[in-house]
Structure 1
Amino acid sequence: MAAVSLESQHDAPRIAGDGVPESAWRRSAWLAALPAQSASDWLAGVARLVIVSPHPDDEALGCGGLIATACAIGLPVRVVSVTDGEACYPDSPVWPAQRLRIVRRRELECALAILGVEIDGIDTLDIGDGRVSERESALVRALAPVLHTGDRVLTTWRGDGHPDHEATARAVERAAAERGARVVQFPVWAWHWLSPDVPVSPLPGAQRLVLTPAACRAKAAALGCFVSQLHDDRPGMPAPILPPHVLERFDRDFEVVLP
């Protein structure tokens, strides 16, 4: 996950303020009514799971439990980090882009190790945080040698409300079509702005993948690795990208995916 800059607010006007609290999602009738399946059953028959994440932490937020489940059952997993999330604090002297690039790669490696992904299962593309939409074709070309026919490829939702997330989804769809891989998407920012009270699900075809307690614990521990994104009350530190009320949305015993 990365902040949406003021310059890109016209692209993602729904991402503002504190967003929808998790307490409202716990009362959501349409979310509770989504078809449910265990994460392990959903992975049955999959040859390899590939996760294409716009920023370091999106993979853990959106499908960290699924990654942990796949690794636990011995399924090959590859994670592609499209950007290094280096622009998440553009006005902070504490977090210049070059420092963030190094720190966030280390955080990603720490988180994925907890989930079960070895360092040689990680690709970092450095497409440019906040620039994915202008470099979509380059991303498609970069993904082509990574994806294989028959892969199940997870990425952020095409309607997630963040320009990098949506551009990544479009590029993944193009690359996967060329390589004969199946794409499945997961919401991240959408939990910030979707309505929990509408009568019909705004996520057509979505389903809940139920996680084991062990997968939930691994996901929580992995998210704890992204220290640069968490609350820091030292003087001069910027507002965190993942404050407690945001992390609450991902402290569930299920994850949501959609075609």
Structure 2
Amino acid sequence: MRAGDFLREAEALPLVPLNTLVPEGGVLVLAPHPDDESLGCGGLLAALAAAGRPARVVVMSDGAGSHPNSRTHPAPVLRELRRREAVEAMRALGVPPPIFLNLPDGDVPRAETPSGNAVAFENAVEAVIGAAIGLGTIAATIDLDPHKDHEATWAIAKEASRRAGLRLLGYPVWSWRHLYPAMAPIAPVEVPAPPRGMRLDVSAQMAAKRRAVMAHRSQVTRLIEDDPFGFILSPAVLSVLMRPFEVYLEEVA
């Protein structure tokens, strides 16, 4: 089936409360970049915190590639800014500060990449397993997200969950481009099967999620003024990602 149809069906998955999606234990959220955790899982993280259940976040890349032409925010400055934003976002959601793996933005390793990245992939898997101790579930961006760091994060999550015997959930961020071209058009792709999973009702967590997303000021405003072509989350993107539900898939591409 086409990816757009896959996501349209995902929007119709059962709408459930936290205890149905995650009956017990806590969740480790893997974010390819600082802000993906808030955009894709902010409601889940806030719900876990409100319920007194453990929630942790691992940010895979340093996010330093979003404004490559800025003179005021070269990579080292932007890296530190995005770390501070992520810490503030987690405070808004009520969860501990993230664990930062500090992998290069645009180069989160895949197992099948050249041998120079094999060690980095193994190290990332082991770091995720360590961060997941005491938790029952890992949530990571699905392989349908059209960004190599998001795809790599899914590959790392799959391997870590397999080794540690943890449940794995996939969450879409940029996958929604297949259904909502206003986010940025993308060529259609085929996926092997209809979606299986649930939608989490995050209506009660929307205020906290909004505060977390807005904490990533370098990504949602023109804070960095000297790179007019730098990345920014458009209103079209935010309108899709800030709905009162979040999608979590049991099996993805």
Pairwise TM-score range, normalised by the shorter structure? 0.7 to 0.9
Percent same amino acid at aligned positions? 36
Count of aligned residue pairs for this structure pair: 228
Displacement of 1:97 in angstroms is 0.7
Aligned to 1:59: 37
Aligned to 1:30: 9
Q: 2:108 aligns with which of 132, 139, 152?
A: 132
For 1:141, give the aligned amino acid.
E
Secondary structure of 1:160 counterpart: coil
For 2:245, give the aligned amino acid.
F
- 1:252 maps onto 2:225 in alignment: no
- 1:94 maps onto 2:72 in alignment: yes
The gaps in structure 1 that reach 5 residues or longer are: 1-13, 15-19, 21-27
Q: 2 CA distance for matches of 1:84 and 1:203? A: 33
Aligned to 1:185: 170
Aligned to 2:200: 209
**Residue 194 to residue 236, structure 1, CA distance change in 2 (3 Å):** same
What TM-score do you get using the length of structure 1 for normalisation? 0.79
C-alpha root-mean-square deviation of aligned residues, in Å? Answer: 2.6
Q: 2:58 aligns with which of 63, 71, 80?
A: 80
For 2:100, give the aligned amino acid.
T
Aligned to 2:113: none
Q: 1:113 aligns with which of 65, 86, 91?
A: 91
Displacement of 1:252 in angstroms is 0.5
Q: 2 CA distance for matches of 1:186 and 1:98? A: 29
Displacement of 1:195 in angstroms is 6.2
Displacement of 1:96 in angstroms is 0.9
8 Å contact kept, 1:108–1:225: yes
Relative to structure 2, which stretch is displaced further, 179-188 or 234-243?
234-243
**Residue 228 to residue 163, structure 1, CA distance change in 2 (3 Å):** same
Partner deviation per Cα, 1:29-88 (whole Å, 9 max, x = no partner): 63542222123432322x121111111100000010010000000001111111120111
Aligned to 1:236: 226
**Residue 127 to residue 233, structure 1, CA distance change in 2 (3 Å):** closer
Q: 2 CA distance for matches of 1:172 and 1:233? A: 32
8 Å contact kept, 1:68–1:115: yes
Displacement of 1:127 in angstroms is 1.5
- 1:39 maps onto 2:22 in alignment: no
Partner deviation per Cα, 1:125-171 (whole Å, 9 max, x = no partner): 11211111344233113223222365211111022111000101101
For 2:75, give the aligned amino acid.
A
- 1:144 maps onto 2:118 in alignment: no
Q: 2 CA distance for matches of 1:92 and 1:166? A: 27
What TM-score do you get using the length of structure 2 for normalisation? 0.81
The gaps in structure 2 that reach 5 residues or longer are: 110-116, 182-190
8 Å contact kept, 1:43–1:70: no
Displacement of 1:227 in angstroms is 0.5
Aligned to 1:5: none
